[in-house]
Amino acid sequence: MTQTADTATLPPPPALPDHVRIDSDSTVLATIDQPQVTLAVWQRSSPLPAPDLDGFPAIRFAAATPSVATGVREALGALPSQPWHETLAADVARLAMLYATWTGEERVEVRIERVTGNGCWKFHADYVGLRLITTYCGQATQWLPQGATDDTTPRALSAGDVGLFKGRERAGDRAIIHRSPPIAGTGEDRLLLVIDAPWPEEEA
């Protein structure tokens, strides 16, 4: 196939750091158990259409993994029903089960929120063992290779991608550095899902 002038001059994508694994097969998430891996990304398209997020509530609850879909449905119950609500509930439940597979957790904490500002816009590492993050619509989470300097251009997940981020409890100083994309003032929306192990006060 003949390259056009535009495609022929595009620089190659940067090499993937050895502590990051990215693949279009969900089994890539299993690589997070490798000691050197601090970020595993399942590349996929978002299962949601471009949703209308007006009035979308901040959702946060802890539940046994088989009850996650019910928890999402109940949280959305006050909104006018939309076809994508059930798609969201089913996908969150599926991702909660995947998270439980790699952590051994029987209960998970689920957080789903509409983000219109900068959120956690500073680069940081989480004080958790393992955190699952996906952005259903809008710009997705940015991350840095280990040893990055202040002028390093951040890499980013895409909408729909599922990332397992290893935090300080499992990786210490090697925990993956990441942030929310700064979108304040742009008029952009993000729909963000975060799955964690339950916080101690919620395990009682």
- pLDDT tens for residues 60-101? 999 999 999 999 999 999 899 999 999 999 999 999 999 998
pLDDT at residue 120 in the model? 64
pLDDT at residue 149 in the model? 86
Domains: count for the chain: 1
Range of the domain at 108: 16-203
Q: Which residues contact 80 (CB under 8 A, 6 or more apart)?
A: none
Share of the chain above pLDDT 90, in %: 67
CATH number, position 105: 2.60.120
Q: Is residue 42 part of a domain?
A: yes
Q: Is residue 3 part of a domain?
A: no
- Residue, of 116 and 10, whose pLDDT is higher: 116
Mean pLDDT, the chain, rounded, equals 89
Report the phi/psi class of residue 14: left, alpha or beta, with left for phi > 0 and alpha for psi in -120 to 50.
beta
Burial 122-150 (b: 16+ CB within 10 A, else e): eeebbebbbbbbbbbbbbbbbbbbbeeee
CA distances from 111 to 23, 58, 59, 198 (A): 25, 8, 6, 11
Q: Is residue 85 part of a domain?
A: yes
Q: Is residue 10 part of a domain?
A: no
- Residue, of 74 and 4, whose pLDDT is higher: 74
pLDDT at residue 116 in the model? 82
Flag whether pLDDT at 10 surpasses 80: no
pTM above 0.85, yes or no: yes
pLDDT at residue 102 in the model? 85
Residue 59 bridge partners (DSSP): 112
Q: Is residue 33 part of a domain?
A: yes
Structure confidence by residue, pLDDT tens digits, 132-166: 999 999 999 999 999 888 788 999 999 999 999 99
- List Cβ<8 Å contacts ≥24 apart for 81-86: 82/51, 82/52, 84/48, 84/49, 84/51
Q: Is residue 7 part of a domain?
A: no
Flag whether pLDDT at 123 surpasses 80: yes
Q: Is residue 127 part of a domain?
A: yes
